[in-house]
Chains A and B, each alone.
Chain A
C-alpha cells in the first residue's frame, strides 16, 4: 500500500497490549440532537482518521477471534483491523469486501452490539472494539477517495442467475455470484435499487447516496439491474427459467405485507402502516413536498403516535419528529427493556425528544367529523410470564383506559409474507404462515433451480441476516450450477 494512505497520527510501533487496553473506546461524533431532530442529515458523523486509527489499536488481535464467528457474513474482523493499524485503509476495505459487499451500509445499520462486538473479548472487562465504526470508516474512506477496490471476477461460466428483489439479501447474493463468474440480473419492483435500504431506512441513518454508491460499484462489477419489474406479475418465475433462459432464481423479495392492529378506527385518514409512511418519505421524498410530488400527511405541529418497539418503529417516530411533529410518541406494549430496537436507536430517539409510552397498547383510533384520526384510546399493560419469544407477555390492566390526542398514527408492528410470488408459482411450497419454504442450509425450495432467502423465508429480520442468507444462497446456487445436481429431498416444508 502506498505511503499516502498512512496517517501520520498512526504510531510506527504499536504500543504494548497492556497500554492498548487502556485506550478508551472512541466516541462516534453525532449531529447535535436539538438540530438533527428537525433534519434528515445523518446522525452519526463517522470516525476521523485519528479516531479510527486509535480505535483499531484497541484490538487485541486474538489468535482465535470470536468476532468473525459472531458476524452473519463472517467478516474477517481481525484481519481488516490489523490493516487499519498498519495504515492500509483501502486494503482493510478490500478485506471486508471479500465477505461483505455492502460495508458502508452494514457499518451503519448492523446490530453490532449483539454480533461482532457482542463477541469481542475486550467486552468482558472494557467496552468492546468498535467494529461497526471501523467498518464504516474504511468503507467511507474508500468511497471518499474514489478508490473502490472491486473484487476480481472468476472467468465467465456462461450460467445465468435471476435475483428477485434488490434489498440486502439480493444484493449480497448478486455480489458473490457475479464474482464467481455467473451472469447476474437483479429485478426490482420499484423504480430505485436497494429495497428496504432505500424505502425503509431513513436518510438520517443510511443516506441513499451511500446505497447508490454501493449499487453502482456492483454495476461496475457487471451486475445487471432491472427496475420496474414485478416478478410474479410482469414476469413469472417459470418464464424466467423458461423463455428468459435463467439457470437459477434466487427469491429475495422480503416480507413486505404490513400488519395492522385490527382495532376500530385504524383505517381513518392519517393512520399509516410504517411501510407506507417510510416509503412516502424515504423513497418518494414527501418531506420535500411540494418540491416532490408525493405528499405525506402534514405532521407539522401535530401529535404523532408510532405503535411498535422495533427499529422500524424507531425510524418512523424519528421521521415524524423530522417532519415537524409537535410531539412524537412511541407507544409500546412491553417495557423499555423488552424493546427489540437497537439500544443506539433508542438512545438517539430519546436524545431527540421522543416521548416513550411503554406498557401501553392502543385499543381504538378516534376520528373527527371528516374521517381524520384525532385521538387514540389506549390501555395500560403489565408484564406477565415469558411467552414463546422469551419476552414477558403483556396483559391489559383492567379499567386503565385513557385517551391521547393525535393527528397522525403509524403502525410499525412488523410485516408478514407478501403472497405475490407464491401465488403465481404453484409448485413453490410455502409454510403455514405463507413464507416460502426453503432448506435452512442450502436455501433450496421445492422448485428445482429456485432458491429463497431473507425475510421471505424467515420473516422480518435485520439487514445483515438477510445478507447472510444472500451469501448462503450464492454458495448454494454456485454449487448447483457447477454440479447440476438438484437433490429433490433437500427442501422440506418446515412445520
Chain B
C-alpha cells in the first residue's frame, strides 16, 4: 500500500499527487513510468513519474481525469492510499549534452516532458520549452518548466493565453529562424507527436517521442503495448516508452489505443452515475491491506 502524502489540483481535472514509494523514488530516472491499481476490481494503468524525492521516499505523478480510473484517482487526496504501485518501469530518457534541446509538451504532456526537460537542463543543454494547451486554464507547470528552461514558449489553441496556435507552429518558426536544434522531444497526444515528427523530418532533426500505448503488466510479459517502428514491433513498456519519432507508425498507435473505446466509455458512464461504490472499494482495499495483507486476497472478487 502506498500512502498519498500530498494532492492538489493544478487545473480542472488535473491533479498532482505525491505518493510514498521509497524504492521507486530511489531508483527512478527521467522518462520512466509506474503502473498503479486503485482497488481489487481496478485496472492497471501506466503513468509517467513527474518527479521524485529519494530522501523523502516519494514520487510525484500528475494525473488528468480522462477515464474511469484517472477520474477516480483524482477524487483521492492526502491520507488516502494507492493499493498497488510498481516501478520505475521503462527505459530512462537518453540524456546527454546535445546542445540545444526543444522540449514540447502538449496538454498533460507538459507534465510528462517536465522531468526530462529538467534532466536535459542539468546535463548542460540549452532548453527551449514549448507548452501547448487547449485553453488558458489547462496550461500546467508554467512556473516549474519556466524555471528549468532557457526559453519558454506557450501556445493555446483558442488564444486565451500567450500565443494562439499549435506547438508545431512555434516549432516551425524556430526551425525556419535557422537556429541549430540538436534534439526535439515531444510528448502529448499521438497526433500532436506525429505532427511534430513531420515538422522536423524534412530537416533531419533528431526527434524523440514518449508513447502512451495500452499496457497490462509493464514488464514485457504481455506484449499488449507493441508499437511498430522501422525496426519492427517493439514493446513500449521495456523498449520504450521513448522512441525515434521518425521511425514510429503513429497510425498503428492511434488505432491500437482505440481497441477498448467502447469499454472505456461504458466504464466511465457507470462510474459517473455512482462513484461511491468505487470510492468504497478503494478505501476497503487499502484498509484491509493495511490491517492484514492476506485478507485482501480473500476479500477480493466476491
Residues of chain A having any CB pair with chain B under 8 Å: 189-192, 199, 208, 212, 215-216, 219, 225, 227-230, 233-235, 256-258, 260, 267, 269-270, 272-273, 275-276, 279-280, 284-285, 288-295, 297-298, 370-372, 418-420
> In the bound complex, do residue B263 and residue A295 qualify as a contact, i.e. CB atoms below 8 Å apart?
yes
Asked if A267 meets B233 with Cβ closer than 8 Å, knowing A279-B217, A279-B221, A418-B219, the reply is yes
- Of A267, A292, A419, A420, most buried by chain B (CB within 10 Å of CB) is A267
> In the bound complex, do residue A192 and residue B216 qualify as a contact, i.e. CB atoms below 8 Å apart?
no
> In the bound complex, do residue B220 and residue A420 qualify as a contact, i.e. CB atoms below 8 Å apart?
yes
> In the bound complex, do residue B222 and residue A258 qualify as a contact, i.e. CB atoms below 8 Å apart?
yes
Please name all residues of chain A whose beta carbon is closer than 8 Å to the beta carbon of B260 when the two chains form the complex.
295, 297
Smallest Cβ-Cβ distance to B294: which chain A residue: A216
> In the bound complex, do residue A191 and residue B226 qualify as a contact, i.e. CB atoms below 8 Å apart?
no
B223 contacts which of A230, A276, A292 (Cβ < 8 Å)? A276
> In the bound complex, do residue A285 and residue B301 qualify as a contact, i.e. CB atoms below 8 Å apart?
yes
Q: Is B298 an interface residue (CB 8 A)?
A: yes
Q: Is B126 an interface residue (CB 8 A)?
A: no
* Distance (whole angstroms) from the CB of A165 to the closest CB of chain B: 11
B220 contacts which of A219, A256, A290, A295 (Cβ < 8 Å)? A256
Asked if A228 meets B267 with Cβ closer than 8 Å, knowing A212-B297, A284-B216, the reply is no
* Distance (whole angstroms) from the CB of B41 to the closest CB of chain A: 5
- Of B217, B220, B221, B263, most buried by chain A (CB within 10 Å of CB) is B221
- Rounded to whole angstroms, the CA-CA distance of A418 and B293 in the bound complex is 29
Since A235-B23, A256-B220, A290-B266 are in contact, a sample of 8 more A-B pairs with Cβ atoms closer than 8 Å, ordered by chain A residue number, is A212-B298, A219-B293, A233-B89, A234-B23, A289-B267, A293-B267, A294-B43, A295-B267
> In the bound complex, do residue A297 and residue B42 qualify as a contact, i.e. CB atoms below 8 Å apart?
no
Residues of chain B having any CB pair with chain A under 8 Å: 23-24, 27, 37, 41-44, 68-69, 83-89, 216-224, 226, 228, 233, 238, 252, 255-256, 258-260, 262-264, 266-267, 270, 293-294, 297-298, 301
> In the bound complex, do residue B256 and residue A267 qualify as a contact, i.e. CB atoms below 8 Å apart?
yes
* Distance (whole angstroms) from the CB of A456 to the closest CB of chain B: 12
Smallest Cβ-Cβ distance to A225: which chain B residue: B293
> In the bound complex, do residue A230 and residue B263 qualify as a contact, i.e. CB atoms below 8 Å apart?
no
Please name all residues of chain B whose beta carbon is closer than 8 Å to the beta carbon of A189 when the two chains form the complex.
86, 217, 219
Please name all residues of chain A whose beta carbon is closer than 8 Å to the beta carbon of B83 when the two chains form the complex.
191
Please name all residues of chain A whose beta carbon is closer than 8 Å to the beta carbon of B41 when the two chains form the complex.
285, 288, 291-293
* Distance (whole angstroms) from the CB of B223 to the closest CB of chain A: 4
> In the bound complex, do residue B84 and residue A191 qualify as a contact, i.e. CB atoms below 8 Å apart?
yes
In the assembled complex, 23 residue pairs joining A and B whose CB atoms fall closer than 8 Å, in A order, are A192-B297, A230-B86, A230-B218, A233-B87, A233-B88, A234-B23, A235-B23, A267-B226, A267-B228, A269-B259, A273-B223, A273-B224, A275-B222, A276-B222, A279-B217, A285-B41, A289-B267, A292-B41, A293-B42, A294-B42, A295-B264, A298-B263, A370-B258
B84 contacts which of A228, A272, A372, A418 (Cβ < 8 Å)? A228
- Rounded to whole angstroms, the CA-CA distance of A191 and B300 in the bound complex is 12
* Distance (whole angstroms) from the CB of A29 to the closest CB of chain B: 25
Asked if A191 meets B37 with Cβ closer than 8 Å, knowing A228-B86, A267-B226, A295-B260, the reply is yes
> In the bound complex, do residue A234 and residue B24 qualify as a contact, i.e. CB atoms below 8 Å apart?
yes
Please name all residues of chain B whose beta carbon is closer than 8 Å to the beta carbon of A227 when the two chains form the complex.
84
- Rounded to whole angstroms, the CA-CA distance of A227 and B84 in the bound complex is 8
> In the bound complex, do residue A276 and residue B44 qualify as a contact, i.e. CB atoms below 8 Å apart?
no
Asked if A229 meets B23 with Cβ closer than 8 Å, knowing A192-B297, A212-B297, A293-B43, the reply is yes
> In the bound complex, do residue B294 and residue A219 qualify as a contact, i.e. CB atoms below 8 Å apart?
yes
> In the bound complex, do residue A279 and residue B216 qualify as a contact, i.e. CB atoms below 8 Å apart?
yes
Please name all residues of chain A whose beta carbon is closer than 8 Å to the beta carbon of B24 when the two chains form the complex.
234
Sort A-B residue pairs by CB-CB distance and give the 4 closest, nearest first: A295-B263, A276-B222, A256-B221, A293-B43
> In the bound complex, do residue B222 and residue A273 qualify as a contact, i.e. CB atoms below 8 Å apart?
yes
> In the bound complex, do residue B220 and residue A267 qualify as a contact, i.e. CB atoms below 8 Å apart?
no
* Distance (whole angstroms) from the CB of A5 to the closest CB of chain B: 26
Smallest Cβ-Cβ distance to A234: which chain B residue: B23
- Of A199, A219, A233, most buried by chain B (CB within 10 Å of CB) is A233
- Rounded to whole angstroms, the CA-CA distance of A258 and B88 in the bound complex is 22
